[in-house]
């Protein structure tokens, strides 16, 4: 559910290109002592130790550290079977208190507001917290010292020097005192249209690159008694939002998405957005099962595994999430979203790929340096490799999975990345910067896809919400260059 991919191209150079970001945040995000939603603003006692070459973050080596992991598409084994044992091996006198949940905001917000938060939190899923608000409230720790610390297992390099370019920038915000990093965006995701390669081979279906070919194939698939396209309206509408955003960027370049992030007036009613919404809206009208509006992501994904659904828009965590449902007759593959128009400014091979899956240390925990040390373990080359093996997703640790045998879906994703070359774009950030816009987009995209394909209504609805956010002085603003 949460948000995330892999080929013949050298993975290190591949990730360097794909993670290039270039964000710039305005000084509107202030480090405030008030908590998100109110609550205690008293500073809790922090466990600290003496800094040394072996203990660069100065943790209390005997103090417990508490972590909470989102239980979604990436699973939790990387935390229980890899990261925690590595932490314990390094610091045997420290207890790691671990828990997992699908309801991050419901579970964590009250603890942040009461000053009793976990030390390291994986903020993800449909119930993820507004991270911009967390930064604004001073509840996320500055990770400057983490990135400047020596790598856990790469001799002679800092943590920052082991990461793909753009990885730190993606979690950086402007606050009082300057721009600072507050999040580790750990998993590297490729987004596209997933399908069963064996089903396509059986029926001699060719992967489409143009919209005309996509429509023609959808007609063939429908005639074969299979739903051509589907997503889950109950809790995975953001998969569809990303599909529309990706198509819009291919029509008009990534600048279209930057305009949305920057709350530019008229950005949501721009031609590229409307063209993308119109094209996908018609897919909803002609080729989707309307009952899927009430289904959850795993229910629709299971139907794809049973060859009842052909195309499914998702990120590269999908293969791992569905591992238990994959039969010998099913082999995941992924393709770029087809070109919507004959004049798209980016080629058909262009794709959206980016770092995602937020992890942060909380200032409202009792062992913030321990939380950072846990992140240092996660950012080791060894932990990153095991994460890829377990989740079928890359990480922002450069080259960690080089030379590894990977799964069919991951291989397909890497081939897609290789073909994309320089035409790989990060995507958009308004959904994480402005929760009000994210919430509105989920309703708007469901109305578009399940209720008639009215692209103008989709654009007008989102334009109004965006400008309401722009005019609301209580909402901290961020900008992209």
Q: How confident is the model at residue 39, as a pLDDT?
A: 40
Same structural domain, 347 and 357: no
Please report whether residue 55 resides in a domain.
yes
Question: Which residues, including other chains, have CB under 8 Å from residue 403's CB and lie 6 or more apart?
Answer: none
Domain count, the chain: 2
Q: Tell me how far apart the alpha carbons of residues 73 and 322 are, in angstroms, rounded to a whole number.
A: 8
Task: Give a yes or no: residue 371 inside a domain.
Answer: yes
pLDDT digits (tens, 9 = 90+) for 284-338: 999 999 999 999 999 999 999 999 999 999 998 899 889 999 999 999 999 999 9
Let me know: does 396 contact 4? Beta carbons within 8 Å. no
158/106 same-domain check: yes
**pTM for the whole thing?**
0.71
- pLDDT of 347 > 80? The answer is yes
Task: Kindly state whether residues 342 and 366 are assigned to the same domain.
Answer: no
Same domain, 246 and 299: yes
Among candidate residues 56, 67, 62, the one with its CA nearest the CA of residue 93: 62
Confidence grade of residue 2 (pLDDT, cut at 50, 70, 90): very low
What do you get for the CA distance between the two ends of the chain, in Å?
30
Task: Flag whether 417 is in a domain.
Answer: no
> At 437, is the pLDDT very low, low, confident or very high (cuts 50, 70, 90)?
very high
Kindly report which listed range (3-17, 94-108, 398-412) carries the lowest average pLDDT score. Answer: 3-17
User: Does 197 lie in the same domain as 178?
Assistant: no
Evaluate if residue 42 carries a pLDDT over 90.
no
Whether residues 297 and 444 fall in one domain: yes
52-63, pLDDT tens digit by residue? 999 999 999 999
Identify the bridge partners of residue 453 per DSSP, sorted by sequence position: none
DSSP 8-state assignment for residue 169: G
Task: State residue 165's pLDDT score.
Answer: 67
Q: Are 214 and 319 part of one and the same domain?
A: yes
Pair 305, 382 in one domain: no
C-alpha separations of 261 from 108, 184, 475 in Å: 27, 20, 14
262 assigned to some structural domain: yes
Question: What CATH number did the domain enclosing 440 receive?
Answer: 3.40.190.10
Q: Are residues 134 and 231 in the same domain?
A: no
Tell me what pLDDT residue 175 has. Answer: 86
Is residue 422 assigned to a domain? Answer: no
The answer to whether 298 and 480 are in contact (CB under 8 A) is: no
Q: What is the mean pLDDT of residues 32-49?
A: 53
In a domain, 478, yes or no: no
Mean pLDDT for the chain overall: 89
Do both 227 and 122 map to the same domain?
no
Residue 480 domain-assigned? no
Instruction: Give the three-state DSSP class for 357.
Output: strand
User: What tens digit of pLDDT does each residue of 126-182 get?
Assistant: 899 989 899 999 999 999 999 999 999 999 999 999 987 678 888 988 788 888 999
Q: What is the pLDDT of residue 292?
A: 98
Whether the CB-CB separation of 358 and 131 falls below 8 Å is answered with yes
Predicted confidence band at 415 (pLDDT cuts at 50, 70, 90)? Answer: confident
- Can you name the residues that pair with 227 across neighbouring β-strands? 309
- Nearest CA to 396 among 405, 404, 384? 384
Contact 365, 371 (CB under 8 A): yes
413-419 average pLDDT score: 83
Most confident of 324-333, 404-413, 423-432: 324-333
pLDDT at 44: 61
- What are the pLDDT digits (tens) for 199-250? 999 999 999 999 999 999 999 999 999 999 999 999 999 999 999 999 999 9
Buried b (16+ CB within 10 A) or exposed e, 288-326: bbeebbebbbbebbbbbbebebbbbbbbbbbbbbbeeeb
pLDDT tens string 174-202: 788 888 999 999 998 889 999 999 999 99
Please work out, in degrees rounded to the nearest 5, the angle formed at the alpha carbon of residue 224 by the alpha carbons of 220 and 228: 60
Statement: residue 1 has pLDDT above 80: no
pLDDT of residue 402: 75
Structure confidence by residue, pLDDT tens digits, 167-176: 888 898 878 8
3 occurs within a structural domain: no
151 with 214, same domain: the answer is no
The answer to whether 165 and 16 are in contact (CB under 8 A) is yes
Q: What is the pLDDT of residue 15?
A: 31
The boundaries of the domain holding residue 294 are 190-352+429-470
Distance CA(452)–CA(277), nearest Å, equals 12
Specify whether 365 is located in the same domain as 322: no
């Amino acid at each position: 559910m949460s948000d995330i991919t892999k080929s013949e191209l050298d993975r290190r150079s591949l990730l360097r290109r794909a993670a290039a970001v270039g964000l710039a945040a305005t000084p509107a995000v202030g480090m405030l002592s008030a908590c998100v939603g109110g609550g205690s603003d008293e500073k809790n006692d922090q466990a600290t130790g003496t800094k040394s070459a072996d203990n660069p973050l100065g943790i209390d080596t005997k103090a417990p550290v508490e972590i909470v992991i989102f239980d979604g598409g990436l699973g939790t084994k990387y935390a229980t079977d890899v990261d925690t044992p590595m932490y314990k091996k390094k610091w045997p006198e420290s207890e790691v208190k671990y828990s997992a949940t699908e309801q991050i905001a419901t579970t964590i917000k009250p603890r942040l507001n009461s000053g009793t938060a976990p030390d390291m939190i994986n903020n993800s899923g449909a119930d993820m917290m507004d991270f911009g608000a967390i930064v604004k409230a001073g509840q996320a720790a500055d990770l400057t010292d983490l990135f400047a610390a020596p790598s856990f297992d790469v001799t002679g390099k800092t943590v920052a020097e082991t990461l793909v370019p753009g990885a730190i920038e993606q979690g950086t915000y402007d606050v009082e005192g300057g721009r600072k990093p507050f999040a580790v965006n750990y998993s590297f995701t490729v987004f596209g249209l997933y399908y069963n390669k064996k089903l396509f081979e059986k029926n001699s279906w060719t992967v489409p690159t143009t919209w005309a070919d996509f429509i023609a194939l959808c007609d063939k698939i429908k005639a074969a008694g299979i739903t051509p396209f589907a997503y889950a309206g109950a809790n995975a509408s953001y998969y569809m939002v990303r599909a529309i955003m990706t198509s819009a960027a291919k029509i008009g370049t990534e600048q279209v998405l930057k305009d949305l992030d920057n709350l530019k007036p008229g950005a949501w009613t721009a031609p590229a957005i409307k063209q993308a919404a119109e094209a996908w809206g018609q897919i909803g009208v002609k080729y989707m099962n309307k009952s899927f509006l009430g289904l959850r992501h795993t229910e629709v994904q299971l139907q794809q595994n049973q060859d009842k659904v052909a195309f499914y828009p998702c990120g590269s965590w999908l293969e791992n999430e569905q591992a238990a449902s994959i039969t010998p007759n099913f082999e995941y593959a992924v393709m770029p979203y087809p070109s919507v128009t004959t004049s798209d400014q980016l080629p058909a091979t262009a794709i959206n790929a980016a770092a995602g899956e937020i992890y942060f240390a909380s200032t409202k925990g009792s062992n913030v340096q321990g939380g950072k040390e846990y992140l240092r373990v996660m950012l080791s080359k060894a932990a990153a490799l095991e994460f890829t093996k377990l989740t079928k997703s890359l990480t922002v640790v450069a080259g960690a999975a080089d030379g590894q045998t990977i799964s069919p879906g991951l291989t397909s994703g890497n081939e897609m990345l290789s073909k994309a070359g320089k035409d790989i774009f990060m995507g958009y950030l308004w959904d994480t910067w402005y929760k009000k816009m994210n919430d509105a987009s989920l309703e708007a995209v469901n109305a578009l896809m399940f209720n008639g394909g009215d692209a103008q209504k989709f654009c007008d609805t989102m334009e109004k919400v965006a400008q309401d956010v722009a005019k609301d002085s209580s909402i901290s603003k961020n900008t992209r260059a």
